[in-house]
Structure 1
Amino acid sequence: MNELPSLRDRLSTRIIASSLAALTVMLCMIGWTLWLSWQLEGAAAAINDTGSLRMRANGIAIELLQSDTSHANQALAGLRAQRDTLDRLKRGVPSRPLFLPDAADIRAQMAQVEATWENQLKPAITLGLAQGRADAYLAVLPGFIDKADRLVRMIETDNAAKTNLLRLSQAVLIGVASVGTLAMIYLLYLWIISPVLNLQEGLRRMAGREFSVRLPVESNDEFGLLAQGFNRMADELEGLYRDLENRVQKKTALLANQNRELGALYDMAAFLNQPNDIDALCRGFLQRVMKEFNADGGSIRVTDPLGDKLHLVVSEGLSSDLEDTEHCMKINACFCGAATRQGVVVIQDFRKLSQTEQYRCASEGFKGLSVFRIVTQDAVLGSFSLHYRNTRTIAPAEAQLLETLGQHLGVALDNRRLSAKARQLAVAEERNLVAQGLHDSIAQGLNFLNLQVQMLDSAVEREQWDEVREIVPLLRTGVDESYQDVRELLVNFRTKLGQGEMLAAVEDTVARFRRQSGIEVTLKVDDLEGAPLPPEQQLQVLFILQEALSNIRKHANASRVQVTIHNRRDFEMRIDDNGEGFDPAEVAQRGEHHVGLNIMQERAQRLSATLVLESSPGKGTHIRLALPRTERQAA
């Protein structure tokens, strides 16, 4: 980019300089004409005062011809006035203005007039006033008047010459103004309008795709720089227009490549989100990557928990011998392990490496290899490799895409592992609850039956038939209770709820308890304002209700039970009975372990709810399950 023009070459400098020159000429011409006008005005006043010399001299002659005293005084006044007029003409009065023209002959004539007045007329007036006669004054008066008339004519002649000079100056001023205006118009056209018109014409031709147009650079001012910039722009546009098709093709190819990458990422993400097992997931991933990048073989390997070995998960295009040999290998044994520690490994041609025979994939005819890590946010899970029978260059964009695909695969594998762990944890938790349920119901019943059988065996050996008859009903009752516990457990294990089915399941559970126990049960449900719980939370609420009713049947000896459910913004379930009750502190002091209550507490924790049990001897038991609105899950 060019710098700004120098101060001398700037258009603004030329315009200001020409304007100042024109202003200076005009001010000089106007000042000259004003000076001439001032001179003419002062000379005109001098002509008037010089004419008054003649009039006043004649007036003094008339006063001298009168012999009385009053006329003598007027003659003396005229004498003084004549002296004052001569002094004004001699000194000049710039304020009027009044002054004689600055010419030697006029100044000489003025001196003669003054000398004639002082040497001839003034003594004659004094003599005439003394003698009462005007003969002497009248004798010299014609000479004074003649000299005064000559002075007036000389001043008038000088004024006429200055008047002609003033008119000439005005004509010259008009000519200078006209010529200056024309010159300024021409200069403005030359400096501004013509370059603007050239630029406009260039832009018009440029708009018509005539990219060969160039502007003439005729100056070093702003318009010269603008013309140079226009020419550079025209050069660049011409070059761009020539290369436009090539650039469009390159851009189209780039966009197509980016669209291909985005499509590959979208397809891979859609595949990885499908519910496949790890083997199918890895095989599908490898097949798609090989197809996308035209690979002849490939493999996916994962690290063991210790991080020192790589296990082959799936492979494509590799021989069975290679799969068997490298099914499990040290992490530092080959490039696949190196990639997990160092990042991307790209081998364009194995033949350029030393000791090529130590690489099994090279011995199978593969010339190129690319290995990328399988990573998650926190760890490296393994690597996947692409094998090429011909040399192939991996572009940076392709390498970035493959690294991204490795991250997607890592996240998918990690999700599969986390899902498997979650399922194992859920199974373990449910097994724990099942074990607790078996221990609390069937195990205790079987223990009771075992004790009664031992007592029955002892009574039979002793032939205590009365005692046998007492034990047999107890055995029958124990078997019936164990059978009923088994049925309850089976019902609990098989219970499955869909969205919005909890109320019907609660009603079935209450009805079944009423039939099995014969206890009066009241169910109150307030479900008008609350949203339904999700199926998982509904199922846990139902399990807690079933466990609570089972405990009432076994231990409470109650005759009445009330179940109350409030499903509003907060969810609450209350189970109250009028049974025997117990002292929780006394039970805890005895160290008794109530498995059923523990099961309900664990299920409440899985709900993120609170379970409160209140009981006292003879006043029944009250259970309250509360699920706050902040812990409710969306159904």
Structure 2
Amino acid sequence: MSHSDITHSPLRNSIVQHTTLAFILVIGVTLCSMLGGMYMADSIQGDAEALNKAGSLRMQSYRLALLALENEEQLLQEHIAKFEQTLLDYSLARAIGNDPASTLHRLYGKAVERWHDSMLPLLQNQPRQIRAFRAEVPVFVDELDQFVHALQVKSEGKLAVIRGLQIGTLLFTVLMAFFVLLGVYSNLITPLRELTRLAQQIGRGDFRSKAYYEARNELGLLARAFNKMSDELADLYDHLERKVDEKTAQLQRSNNSLELLFNSARSLYRSSADPIPELASLLLPVQRSLGSGPVSLCLNHASQKTCFSAHTAVSAERQPPHYCRLPDCEQCPVHAGDGKLAGGTELINFALRSGNSELGTLRVEQPQGVALEPWQEQLLSAVAELFAASLGLSQLGQQQARLALMEERAVIARELHDSLAQALSYQKLQLSRYKKQIASGHPKTELDATLAEIQDGLNAAYR
């Protein structure tokens, strides 16, 4: 999944939206319940007063019957006026309501009608019909009882509605709370545990772990983003590990190459006047450091372009390689062809040069078509330069030795020339002296002494 797929994925089950909707529903239902309860409570406010008024009508009807017997006109009229005021009170009309078809409205109308049509005339007409009024009182009280009962039932119904609203609101709130908790557990706690587990795995370096949570919500989007990040971190970590391994291998190869060059330079520095055996002994370490095919060394005459010695790393006796046909160098694959050998390999050459002199070649066998790596070429070039320097220094030393010998011989010749010339000149003078002694007639003893000196001088010059 690409980055755009993650960021533009639709959130069909948004946690924020669902939570907001749940709170809106709970608040809305609670508000409706409160408003309904307030309305019903407001409608009940006059019911208690209406019940009291209706109950007082029963007592007042009995009092009117008693006052009619006592024949107290003024007090009777006052109670009749009070009775009618109570019967027509606003609290009763409010409790009854405006529905003419309701039971309360029918019972109240029946009671009012009985009062005006049957009971009030019995008290106002002369003579008063007290017996008939007293007979009507129980019937009127019974009708009032029915009205009070109906009024009480209506008031209790309103209370039941309020109680139902409260219970329904409570049940709805509890049910919504249950669903919210269930949603929180499935859509919040569970994915958070997965994301926490994934974060801990990433913290321990395990970038291949996944968050196993799929949902079209914010945490599902976060889980997909975490999985994408984990994959990218795993790829990056693997890439870095490969880079580190490559750099480590390069450093190891560089260290091995430096160690090989150092050991080779030290060996060649400590070698005798003839460096060729030491060069041949270094071919096997070079081959091991390269990790390639056999490495061989072919050296030229100083004055000719033909080989005079060849060595290979695979031969313990330092014999020429298998393709070499010494002394017939014209048959060498390097000279006769393009360096390809019969076994499917080819020779790669590195020239050994010292100034303008071609000292030979350092060769390595590789499969045909497989080139050497850059570091292998650099190492072989460095080894070839080191071998060429060693051979050049050896030749230079030999030349210097020859020059020193020639100078020493010239000095000896000059010294011999000077000393012999002096001895011969002295003997020439001695010979002249001997002739004069003979001519002068010197005694034989003097002549023999002079002749002995001449002989001694000649012997010394000869020595």
Which structure's residues are more often strand, by fraction?
1
Higher RCO (CA-CA < 8 Å; seq separation 6+)? 2
Which structure's residues are more often helix, by fraction?
2
Tell me which structure has the larger Cα radius of gyration: 2
